């Protein structure tokens, strides 16, 4: 459902410190284009979680409300001096803000 670059995988692995932890990516209202991706390390499963990536000891999940916005997501990691961090891109995005931190999708209502 989603793809992670090797650099993103390495960075996600470096943030996971407990065996039962995983990455949760969700979509929240925010930013100048309407929605933004968030990622967190957690060990708390929710009933609506769907696994969107699993490889070796790295699992990425999302909740049911975020799932339509996650399909086709590509995650990369950049260590640029000015704006290092994870980069989320999705060809389904209708538009994004100038800095790329938020987005809008055609045909989907605003995230809850």
Residue extents of the structural domains in the chain: 3-105
* pLDDT number for residue 23: 97
CATH number of 3-105: 2.60.300.12
Q: Read off the pLDDT of residues 75-110 as tens digits, 9 standing for 90 and up.
A: 999 888 777 888 888 776 554 544 455 455 554 444
Q: Read off the pLDDT of residues 44-64 as tens digits, 9 standing for 90 and up.
A: 999 989 999 999 889 999 999
**Rounded distance, CA 92 to CA 85, Å?**
22
Cβ within 8 Å of residue 24, ≥6 positions away: 39, 40, 41, 42, 49, 60, 61, 62, 63
């Amino acid at each position: 459902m989603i793809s992670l670059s090797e650099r993103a995988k390495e960075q996600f692995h470096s943030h996971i410190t407990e065996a039962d932890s995983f990455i949760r990516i969700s979509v929240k209202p925010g930013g100048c284009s309407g929605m933004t991706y968030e990622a967190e390390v957690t060990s708390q499963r929710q009933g609506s979680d769907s696994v969107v990536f699993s490889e070796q000891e790295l699992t990425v999940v999302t909740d049911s409300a975020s799932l339509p916005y996650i399909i086709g997501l590509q995650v990369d990691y950049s260590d640029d001096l000015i704006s290092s961090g994870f980069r989320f891109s999705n060809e389904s995005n209708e538009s994004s803000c100038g800095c790329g931190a938020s987005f809008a999708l055609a045909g989907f209502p605003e995230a809850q």
